[in-house]
Every structure is written in C-alpha cells, then in structure tokens.
C-alpha cells in the first residue's frame, strides 16, 4: 500500500480541520478508498497511487482556498472536491470579476460556476432566465449585475418586480398605504440592494426613480427603455402576466427573470408563466437560460441537504 504524507504550513491546522475535525471527516467521505489519518499538522494517506495523486491535488486546492479566504466550510469543500478539474474551480471561485464594490468594502461577485455563467449570459443576451432552487444566488447575483450596469451607465434605471401575493396581487386586505403593503413581498430585493448601495444613495435612487421596485401590475402599458429589469419569483406569473411582462421590453433594455419551478404558489390547474415561457422561447435566438442547482447554494449547509431531500422525493413521485 502506498503512503502519502502532507504537512500543513502557513495556516492553522486546527482551523483547517474544523471543529471536531468536521472538515477532515467530510474530506474523507469523498475518498472512501483511502485511509486518511490527521495528526497535528501532518496528514498521512494510504491507498492506490492514482488516488493519492488526486487527493494531493485536491488537498492543495483546499489549503489554497483556506489561505485566501481564511475559512473552509462544507460548501467550499464540495465545490473543490466535485469540480471537474482545477480550471473549473478556479474560474468559479477565484477569477470571477468583482461585480460591485458593496457597502463597507464588500466585494460582490459570482461565487459559483453557474453564477458565473449567469453573469456571462447577461453580457451576451438582452433577455436571460435564471432557473434554480432557493439559496442558489439567483436574485442576489441578478441584482448585482443590474447595479453594475447602472454604475457603468449602461442603463439609466433599474426596475425590480415580482408577483406580490400568490401572483394574484391582492393587497387590499393588508394594513397601511401601498408602499407598506408591498414592502414585505419586495424585501429580498431591498436586502440585496442594501448590500450594494449605501443607504442614503439608495434612498435617493428610489425617490428619483432611478431604482423602481413595484409589483407586476405596475408594468402593464409601459415601455421599458434604457433599463435593467428583473422579474423575481417568475414561477408565480400566469400566462397573461408573463406575456405582458416580456412585451414591455424597450430600446437598450436588459431583462433578467429568476424563478424556481419547484416553488409555484399559483392556484391548481394554473400554468406557470415561467415554465411555459421557457418552452415557448427555447429556440428564440438572443435569449439565454441558465440553470442553477444545489451546488450553487451558499446559504446554511442544511439548505443544500433540504433541496436534495425534496428532489429525491419528487423523483420518486
């Protein structure tokens, strides 16, 4: 049996291994045919030479990640150990352009391979669909792309919209004025913007109409020129709403639609406008469709497990 000895230098072995050795134990699961022993700053690995070479390459990628970001979590480990090759991981993790210099110096960029594909698709196509489950960064990345376009004066305004209440937009029963009624349903959009634009400037943009956040009903009859328009939660649009929205596109406009076909809140027997649009427009040149999955989840590690669990049940049905 071949032996490989690796020594961790310049980073903390204790922090790299994780609390209770949770990181090293996770790494072991990806190499079930190898015997991995971690002691102090050294790791001894026993097994076939070919597997040892692969382990060493991936281990070097993990330590490089830790050295750069000073952290290592389950999502990062999975991305490193499941990427097809080092080039794919580097593209998604390291070389992604900074989209926005956010509040408090935060650098906002695509963090996964599919998020990176979304950024590239938005450059190439004026209309892009971003499809995927919760937590994959669809909305956040889309808003960052829009803010970047505004800051670089590619567009004059950002328009963010989503179906307000189960696509029916029945807001009358809620207390308060229209803005107060809408705010709870638009909160994810506000949250993303607050990460990217200082509060005072964001307030100014909203007050002068540079950034508009409104329900889909407000899109009817408008021609959206010189604008970056995001339709969030698009799975909750009806056929009529989707057709209305798509035909609002004006000159020098970018449309980005996000949605999760697995979380449709429409009444039974009502066809999702998102699902229908993807089928109808699949062969239309100039429209991009990007699919994100559980590998793109950057929320709590349990979110990925929840998505996988539900997916397995749905496949059984």
- Give me the pLDDT at residue 168, please: 42
Residues 116 and 137 in one domain: yes
Residues 21 and 140 in one domain: no
- Give me the pLDDT at residue 183, please: 60
Mean pLDDT lowest among 78-82, 144-148, 190-194, 297-301: 297-301
- Give me the pLDDT at residue 179, please: 52
Residues 129 and 19 in one domain: no
At 265, is the pLDDT very low, low, confident or very high (cuts 50, 70, 90)? confident
Residues 179 and 66 in one domain: no
- Kindly state the average pLDDT of the residues 116-130: 95
Nearest residue to 211 via CA among 186, 233, 235: 186
CATH code (residue 225):
3.40.50.300
- Give me the pLDDT at residue 263, please: 87
- Residue 284 domain boundaries: 100-316
Contacts of 177 (CB under 8 A, 6+ apart): none
Residues 220 and 167 in one domain: yes
Nearest residue to 192 via CA among 152, 153, 148: 148
Residue after which a domain boundary falls, among 91, 109, 141: 91
Residue 90 predicted with pLDDT over 60:
no
Residues 76 and 111 in one domain: no
Instruction: Please return the burial class of 257, using the count of CB atoms within 10 Å of its CB with bins 0-12, 13-18 and 19+.
Output: buried
Residue 103 predicted with pLDDT over 60:
yes
Give whichever of 100-109, 207-216, 244-253 has the largest mean pLDDT: 244-253
- Give me the pLDDT at residue 305, please: 77
Number of domains in the chain: 2
Residue after which a domain boundary falls, among 63, 91, 119: 91
Give the bridge partners for 35, in sequence order. 46
Instruction: Please return the burial class of 159, using the count of CB atoms within 10 Å of its CB with bins 0-12, 13-18 and 19+.
Output: buried
Higher-pLDDT residue of 295 and 196 is: 196
- Give me the pLDDT at residue 83, please: 75
**What DSSP string runs through 229-258?**
EEE-SGGG--HHHHHHHHTTB-TT-EEEEE
Query: 218-256 pLDDT, tens per residue?
Result: 888 888 999 999 999 999 999 999 999 999 999 999 999
Is 0.85 surpassed by the pTM of this model?
no
Residues 130 and 260 in one domain: yes
Residues 200 and 236 in one domain: yes
Query: 42-54 pLDDT, tens per residue?
Result: 999 999 999 999 9
Residues 269 and 157 in one domain: yes
Higher-pLDDT residue of 177 and 138 is: 138
Residues 170 and 307 in one domain: yes
CATH code (residue 81):
3.30.1370.10
- Give me the pLDDT at residue 185, please: 66
- Give me the pLDDT at residue 267, please: 85
Residues 106 and 243 in one domain: yes
CA–CA distance, 167 with 232 (Å, rounded to integer)? 12
Residues 81 and 111 in one domain: no
Task: Give the chain's mean pLDDT.
Answer: 84
- Give me the pLDDT at residue 296, please: 82
- Kindly state the average pLDDT of the residues 175-181: 50
CA–CA distance, 141 with 111 (Å, rounded to integer)? 9
Residue 106 predicted with pLDDT over 80:
no
């Amino acid at each position: 049996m071949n032996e490989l000895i690796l020594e961790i230098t310049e980073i903390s072995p204790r922090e790299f291994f994780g609390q209770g050795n949770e990181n090293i134990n996770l790494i072991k699961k990806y190499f079930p045919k190898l015997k991995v022993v971690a002691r102090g700053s050294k790791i001894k690995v026993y097994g076939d030479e070919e597997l040892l070479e692969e382990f060493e390459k991936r281990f070097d990628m993990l330590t490089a990640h830790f050295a750069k970001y000073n952290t290592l979590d389950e999502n990062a480990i999975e991305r490193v150990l499941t990427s097809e090759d080092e080039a794919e991981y580097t593209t998604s993790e390291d070389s992604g352009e900074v989209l926005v210099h956010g509040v408090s110096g935060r650098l906002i960029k695509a963090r996964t391979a599919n998020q990176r594909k979304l950024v590239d698709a938005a450059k190439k196509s004026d209309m892009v669909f971003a499809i995927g489950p919760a937590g994959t960064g669809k909305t956040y990345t889309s808003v960052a792309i829009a803010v970047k376009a505004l800051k670089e004066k590619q567009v004059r305004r950002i328009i963010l919209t989503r179906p307000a209440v189960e696509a029916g937009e029945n807001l009358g029963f809620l207390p308060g004025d229209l803005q107060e009624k809408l705010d709870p349903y638009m909160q994810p959009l506000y949250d993303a913007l607050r990460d990217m634009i200082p509060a005072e400037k964001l307030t100014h943009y909203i007050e002068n109409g540079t950034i508009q956040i409104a329900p889909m009903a407000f899109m009817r009859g408008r021609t959206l020129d010189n604008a970056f328009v995001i339709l969030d939660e698009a799975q909750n649009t009806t056929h009529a709403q989707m057709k209305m929205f798509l035909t609002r596109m004006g000159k020098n406009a970018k449309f980005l639609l996000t949605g999760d076909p697995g979380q449709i809140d429409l009444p039974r027997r009502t066809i999702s406008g998102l699902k229908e649009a993807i089928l109808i427009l699949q062969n239309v040149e100039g429209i991009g469709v990007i699919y994100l999955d559980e590998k793109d989840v950057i929320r709590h590690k349990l979110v990925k497990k929840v998505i996988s669990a539900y997916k397995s049940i749905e496949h059984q049905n």
